Structures are given as structure tokens and as C-alpha cells.
Amino acid sequence: SAGVAAPPGATADGGRVVGPDGVAGAAEGADADAVTVKVYSDFLCPFCQLFEQTNGPVLADLRSAGDVV
């Protein structure tokens, strides 16, 4: 991936930070000690879909509370 630029607002490894307000690329409002959660997902993978169905609501609640970014 040498020479490939990350999209605007992406982290150095190509991720997208999502803060408490749900806006990608901004973490304003998150707790100072918020934990960074990295999810690697394939939209065509049935196991990734199961992960999202099972854990998505919990991660969304933690994000809304400012506990994770």
C-alpha cells in the first residue's frame, strides 16, 4: 500500500474514529480515557455480520456514552 493516501479524516492505519455524536472522523466529546476499539470487518463475511448483530448495539451504547471511540 506504499504510495496510497488514506482518506481525509482517517487514522494513520486507515481507520475512522467515531465520537459520541456518531460523526466519523471526530472524537470530540469522548472521555479523556476513552478506549479505542478497532473493528476489522468485511461486509460480505457472514461471521462479520454476526459480530455486528451481536456486538453493534453494545458498542453503539459505549460510543454514545463517550467510553469508546
At 3, list the grid cell: 504510495
Task: Spell out the per-residue pLDDT of the chain, length 69, in tens.
Answer: 677 777 777 887 778 888 888 878 777 888 888 888 888 889 999 999 999 999 999 999 999 999 998
Is the pTM of the predicted complex or chain greater than 0.85? no
CB atoms under 10 Å from CB of 39, counted, come to 11
Question: Widest CA span of the chain, in angstroms?
Answer: 37
> How far apart are alpha carbons 12 and 4 in whole angstroms?
12
Q: Which residues 6+ apart lie within 8 Å of 30 measured at CB?
A: 19, 20, 66, 67, 68, 69
